[in-house]
Amino acid sequence: MAFPDIQSFMRLLEQRGELLRVPVPVSSELEITEIADRLVKRGGPAVLFEQVRGSEFPVVIGLMGTRERTALALGVSDLDDLAAKVRHLIDLKGSGGMLGMLGNLPKLRDAMHLPPRRVCTAPVQQVVWRGDEVDLSRLPVLKCWPLDGGPFVTLPLVITRDPETGERNMGMYRMQVMGKTTTGMHWQRHKTGTRHLEKARKRGERLPVAVAIGGDPALIYAATAPLPPIPGLDEFALAGYLRSQRYPVVRGVTVDLDVPANAEFILEGYVDPQEDWVVEGPFGDHTGFYTLPDLYPRFHVTAITMREQPVYPATIVGRPPMEDAYLIEASERLFLPAAQLILPEIVDYHMPPAGVAHNLVVVSIRKQFPGQAYKVANGLFGLGQMMFAKVIVVVDENVKVNDMAAVWREVARQGVPGRDTLTTRGPTDVLDHSSRGWGYGGKLIIDATTKRPEETGSGVSSRDDQAGDIRPDLFSPAAAADLPSFDGVLAQHQTPDGYWMVALHKTRAGQARDLAAAFARHPAAAGMRHLLICDEETDVADAGDVWWTVLNNIDPERDVTVLPTPAGALLAWDGARKLAEEGFVRPWPPKIVMDQAVKDRVDARWHLYGLPEQWR
């Protein structure tokens, strides 16, 4: 099903009981975030806030806040169907004579839906603000978290065009509102918008920019998708393919750019590459930590167009799981066939919410030869935005990659620290606060596949091993009854599958390193394969909380070490805060936590919102 716009999708959700209305006034500063955060973490409905203080426009949030709603938004019954759809398109037949070629016609008709369709009039241009009318403060832009530098547009579809080639790009880059007509433009160094701006600078030109807010769900998703750099394939084309009809676009009223005709708002303007950049942030980011202030380009808004009765769509990001987890899963499914074209041994892959997209990738393979896990992992590091992956875990084809309990059990059983782990370096996401440098750091590969003889140091080769794969050293984990004490340890917990989780209040340089060495020597380490050292805010009984903290807080080359134990080897992950005394030169950001006063206010007003008590 294709939705002509976001409001038609909202109507369907409301009919299905998956969108509720809040009729009482609410604040766009923190209150909406606290409500939305509770709902998305409990699998609750989307919400339309009909009255937002200080604005004439309602806010809708959480439209794709569950796996099922995301599938519905993209026109499939299940997100797995996205992979089948793409696989069907790329599996073109080149043999079989005329009948074989005729079999491609339905697929070619699908491909014809890729180019956008230009229209002359559009709902999004029913109302136009120019000159002194332009005032971003009239929009209900959210301040999401207590330490945010201001209100941020969180679902912007930012449209630019390459000044040299004319290639179009749409990306989702947060925008901090700085004044009535200006925002920050969070173009990170690896983003296409940054390349367009640099080309405009060299040509001595301003870069025209249009920002769509709204559109149909397929377009909102497409703006987040990691598209490969294929000429003619852009986000409008992807949305057209997903909705099985060409996407309607209209020329902007003040910028020479095509904009989605069915959006709710369009912000038109420019970025001047000759202008000094502006301090943007902090911002409570999708990592669950604050991104600290930094310099970014300034966007000048020269016109705002909108529908006659628009709705302002928003999302929040923060400590997982959040709505973006389902958009990430949609990208997983959509690009699985492309990854399999390049690395055909891949069975499946998954980027779990605890890894916030780039920190952890689990991939299952059909293993045929020794070293294949490393071949696949290194191949993935070279695929588009997969270059930002920090930890890649490779498992056998029978392991379900989205069953993290099963994955970690297999890692402990099959992966010998040191023998089956490998560190390397490469690009990292610029939002990674723990890497050795900005956008550059260590990476870790864990081979948790069944080992061939060559991988265990055996003198037997796979060719000679007539009995098939041998498993000479499967680990049998066991939790210890008595655990050691150590300075700063607030809580610790060992799991039956070989993981030792520790919450550490760190007060001195080298404290986590000393703890790891002491614990590795203790008899309690005999039944463990992994020591996970976290900060004092981590619940060691919650594996998801532990992995989220550790994966955010490590540079694998610096912080993941192999230590000998009484029974073998232990992989120690130092996920504690890094100090200047340890050579870490960047500020360490805080975790995102909502103000208690806001939580209390939402609790007290919950009965007024009209939302079910089960989502409170």
Give me the active site residues, please.
285
Alpha-carbon dihedral sign for residues 449, 455, 459, 460: positive
What is the rounded CA–CA span in Å between residue 599 and residue 569? 45
Cα-Cα-Cα-Cα torsion 293, 294, 299, 300, nearest 10 degrees, comes to: 70
What is the rounded CA–CA span in Å between residue 223 and residue 383? 19
Q: Vertex 217, ends 140 and 152: CA angle to 5°? A: 30
Strands 391-396 and 421-427 come out as unpaired
Task: Give Cα separations from 525 to 34, 385, 396, 421, 484 (angstroms).
Answer: 41, 37, 27, 19, 10
What are the DSSP calls for 100-146, one per residue?
Answer: HHHTTHHHHHHHTT-S-EE-S--GGGSEEEEGGG--GGGS--BB-ST
- Residues 504, 497 contacting (CB under 8 angstroms): no
Give the distance from CA 403 to its chain's centroid: 18
What is the rounded CA–CA span in Å between residue 373 and residue 72? 35
Per DSSP, helices labelled H in 30-104 are 31-41, 67-73, 80-90, 97-102
**Residue 574's closest CA among 587, 556, 588?**
556
Q: Vertex 552, ends 529 and 357: CA angle to 5°? A: 100
Interacting residues of 114 by C-beta distance below 8 A, sequence separation 6+: 232, 233, 237, 238, 240, 241, 246
**Residue 380's closest CA among 423, 439, 336, 326?**
336
Cα-Cα-Cα-Cα torsion 532, 535, 539, 541, nearest 10 degrees, comes to: 20
Strands 499-504 and 530-534 come out as parallel
What are the DSSP calls for 267-293, one per residue?
Answer: EEEEE-TTSPPEEE--EE-TTSBEEPP
What is the rounded CA–CA span in Å between residue 208 and residue 161? 8
- Residues 249, 355 contacting (CB under 8 angstroms): no
Three-state SS for 68?
helix
Structure tokens at 282: 């902090």
